Structure 1
Amino acid sequence: MLDATFENLHILVKSTIHFGYYFHTSGAVKNSKKQKKWLKKFRISAL
């Protein structure tokens, strides 16, 4: 029972990471300059 739960969780985490990576790369290619500026602003505001 516990093994099955772990397996499902692992699949969920993997698919989430794959989706996040795909989403990030597809958006980042188009908006790399905007994203870099935004990331710098975000890092500065986060600090």
Structure 2
Amino acid sequence: MKKPYLTEETIKQAFTFLKSRKDHAHTMKNKEWESEFENSLRVIEELSARKR
């Protein structure tokens, strides 16, 4: 059987990466990117039932 791509660890890594990108967009005052990263984080939370 192939190794699954979506594991709890890879989901956590993706969440951490997107959170850092959202924070960077906020620092750069890029509201469009910030909202896109926030949306991505929300999708991951909803799909994985992961809470902040």
How high is the TM-score relative to the length of structure 2?
Answer: 0.44
Whose helix fraction is larger, Structure 1's or Structure 2's? 1
| Structure whose CA Rg is larger | 1
The structure, 1 or 2, with the larger RCO (C-alpha pairs under 8 Å, 6+ apart) is 2
